[in-house]
């Protein structure tokens, strides 16, 4: 692990030039005023007719200036579409090294979240599972529900572990729209008998390993749609997807112990639940008002049901909301798409926020940050209704933890009647919107690895001073240790390794620097 002084000097100088070049590139982008180009008005912005990009291609949205990447090609990969699970579900793992997509066949697809390369399809027990979500802190673990069991699966080795068996029920579920609390402490579930008759609502303490509350719902819940614990675990939200008044209808909110708090007849709009700018827990929902013929996106405080109108949009749209940017409080991501009453469109009749992905501030000011057109279409003269169209072509836009990356599914309005036309797209909007640094999740590791993905030379930097001791092992994505020799040159707090000749792919790097252990994912691309 040594080199001559001349070699060390050359490598160090080359490294410094790389860092300076990267710094200058960032300054150049900032100087070009990308943030100033952010679209924040409410005027119509017609979607341009542009060719579908190639997989892996990065392009700039012509109207909103975000950087967009097509990350899958379902047709050529023989996958029944690749898209986000749902707007209410987090697609990124806790350290944002992995990305979870779903297919129309119900498969769980894992991709590298840096290179966007496909890694694997998880085991048979997850195929078709309604409730699949990342562990809130362990980037290698996924929670899922199989019949009446809550389990985890380790993504690297696919070992499944039963967390709890709810023996009083044949099945438990959130009905595909619930989440754990943000800290992974609580989950709300519906318990069913052997023929899927709803029996109870339950609140489960995942850390304590016990049911802390049960509420018998019985025959009162014929129109039950979904339930979830709130982000901080203080409330249980139950949606019946109707607009009737009184108990067991509309939207009901309970405290964690399933004591009833309030009810509103809010209809069958889409929803998500998140944190407002003051960290209060809120429900965001689109509600159609028949008297005004307007759809309102509204905020409801979970503590008391008080509501705030956030934005009014055309009733010709359907809407999905996503509050998965848990590190960017007070904003909700919205994706709109033409509903069954608008089977055709053109630039002359284009409506504000049509077929669009944008962020909406929760303070009632109407402030928006408009990111991209999603170029997808579910309903058309050829696919005019829910029974004759592809559900997965709804964009179902969702976001990473700090709101800097936006994911959605799109058929690009091509072959809209088949599942394989739907692919996943990601817009990088961090530089565009100028996310404040305090809202970006801090790097907790003592080790920084760059660049990632790597072509040939990789740098491992210690944040704790000069490297006195360095060891490292390399594993394939399926957990096998690779007997490969990678000489390291140590310069101060930096280890420099040459990856020339490595086969392109995803590797797991585990090592030790000065008695501190680290584990990182590394994508190797061709020279």
The average pLDDT across 375-404 equals 97
> Is the model more confident about 241 or about 519?
241
Distance CA 451, CA 461 (A): 11
Q: What is the pLDDT of residues 75-119, one digit of tens each?
A: 999 999 999 999 999 999 999 999 999 999 999 999 999 999 999
Give the integer Cα–Cα distance in Å for 124 and 465: 46
Q: What is the mean pLDDT of residues 472-497?
A: 73
pLDDT higher than 90, residue 200: yes
Full-model pTM: 0.78
The CA-CA-CA angle for residues 279, 92, 439, to 5°, reads 35
* Position 435 confidence tier, pLDDT thresholds 50, 70, 90: low
Confidence check: pLDDT of 288 > 90:
yes
pLDDT at 8: 44
Going along the chain from its start, the domains and CATH numbers come out as 446-524 (2.60.40.10)
Q: What is the pLDDT of residue 441?
A: 35
Question: Rounded mean pLDDT of the chain?
Answer: 87
pLDDT band at residue 456 under the 50/70/90 scheme: confident
What's residue 4's pLDDT?
A: 36
Token pair of 486, please? 């990678």
At residue 481, does pLDDT exceed 70?
yes
- Does residue 397 register a pLDDT over 60? yes
CA atoms within 13 A on the CB side of 148: 13
Structure tokens that stand for 116 in this block: 């966007």
Residue 335 and residue 292: Cα distance in Å, rounded? 22
SS3 of the chain: helix, strand, coil, percent, to 5: 10, 40, 50
Query: Pick from 424, 433, 438, 446: which is nearest to 514 by CA?
Result: 446
CA distance 116 to 405: 13
What is the average per-residue pLDDT within 413-441?
A: 80
Q: Which residues contact 370 (CB under 8 A, 6 or more apart)?
A: 38, 39, 40, 45, 64, 353, 356, 358
| 466-475 per-position pLDDT tens digit | 888 888 888 7
Confidence of residue 25 (pLDDT cuts 50, 70, 90): very low
pLDDT: which is higher, 497 or 219: 497
Q: Do 408 and 397 meet the contact criterion of CB atoms below 8 Å apart? A: yes
Per-residue exposure over 367-382, b if at least 16 CB sit within 10 Å of its own CB, e if not: ebbbbbbbbbbbbbee
Put residue 241 in one of left, alpha, beta given phi > 0 → left and psi -120 to 50 → alpha. Answer: left
Phi-psi region of 382 (alpha: psi -120 to 50; beta: other; left: phi over 0): alpha
Look at residue 473 in the predicted model and tell me its pLDDT: 81
Residue 319 above 70 pLDDT? yes
Point out which residues pair with 121 in neighbouring strands. 109
User: What is the rounded CA–CA span in Å between residue 410 and residue 416?
Assistant: 9
How much is the pLDDT for 508?
75
Q: Is the pLDDT of residue 438 over 80?
A: no
Residue 515: which of 445, 483, 466, 468 has the closest Cα? 468
CB 152 within 8 Å of CB 180:
no
């Amino acid at each position: 692990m040594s080199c001559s002084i001349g070699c060390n000097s050359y490598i160090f100088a080359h490294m410094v030039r790389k860092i300076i070049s990267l710094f200058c590139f960032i300054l150049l982008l900032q100087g070009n005023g990308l943030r100033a180009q952010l679209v924040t008005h409410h005027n119509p912005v017609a979607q341009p007719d542009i060719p579908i990009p190639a997989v892996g291609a990065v392009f700039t949205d012509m109207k909103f200036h975000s950087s967009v990447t097509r990350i899958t090609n379902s047709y050529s990969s023989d996958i029944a579409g690749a898209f986000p699970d749902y707007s209410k579900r987090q697609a990124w793992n806790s350290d944002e090294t992995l990305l979870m997509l779903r297919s129309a066949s119900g498969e769980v697809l894992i991709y590298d979240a840096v290179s966007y390369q496909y890694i694997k399809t998880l085991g048979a027990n997850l195929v078709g599972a309604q409730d699949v979500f990342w562990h809130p802190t362990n980037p290698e673990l996924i929670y899922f529900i199989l019949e009446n069991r809550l389990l985890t699966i380790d993504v690297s080795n696919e070992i499944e572990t039963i967390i709890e068996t709810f023996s009083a029920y044949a099945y438990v579920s959130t009905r595909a729209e619930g989440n754990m609390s943000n800290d992974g402490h609580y989950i709300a579930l519906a318990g069913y008998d052997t023929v899927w008759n709803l029996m109870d609502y339950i609140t489960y303490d995942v850390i304590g390993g016990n049911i802390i509350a049960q509420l018998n719902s019985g025959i009162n819940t014929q129109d039950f749609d979904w339930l979830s614990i709130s982000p901080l675990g203080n409330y249980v939200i139950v949606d019946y997807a109707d607009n009737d008044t009184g108990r067991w209808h509309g939207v009901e909110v309970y405290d964690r112990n399933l004591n009833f708090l309030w009810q509103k007849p809010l209809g069958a709009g889409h929803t998500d639940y998140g944190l407002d700018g003051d960290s209060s827990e809120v429900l965001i929902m689109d509600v159609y008002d028949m008297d005004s013929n307007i759809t309102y996106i509204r905020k409801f405080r979970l503590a008391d049901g008080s509501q705030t109108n956030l934005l009014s949009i055309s009733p010709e749209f359907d809407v999905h909301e996503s509050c998965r940017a848990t590190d960017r409080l007070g904003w909700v991501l919205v994706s709109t798409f033409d509903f069954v009453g608008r089977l055709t469109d053109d630039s002359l009749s284009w409506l504000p926020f049509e077929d669009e992905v944008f962020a909406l501030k929760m303070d009632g000011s109407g402030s928006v940050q408009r990111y991209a057109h999603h170029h997808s279409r579910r309903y058309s003269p050829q696919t005019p209704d829910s029974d004759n169209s592809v559900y997965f072509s709804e964009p179902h836009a969702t976001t990473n933890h700090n709101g800097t990356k936006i994911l959605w599914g799109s058929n690009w309005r091509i072959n809209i009647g088949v599942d394989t036309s739907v692919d996943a797209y990601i817009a990088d909007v961090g530089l565009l919107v100028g996310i404040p640094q305090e809202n970006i999740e801090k790097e907790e590791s003592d080790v920084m690895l760059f660049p990632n993905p790597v072509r040939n030379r990789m740098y491992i930097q210690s944040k704790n001073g000069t490297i006195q001791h360095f060891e490292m092992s390399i594993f394939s994505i399926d957990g096998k240790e690779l007997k490969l020799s990678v000489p390291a040159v140590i310069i101060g707090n930096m280890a420099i390794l040459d990856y020339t000749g490595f086969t392109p792919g995803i590797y797991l790097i585990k090592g030790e620097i000065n008695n501190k252990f680290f584990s990182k994912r590394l994508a190797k691309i061709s020279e």
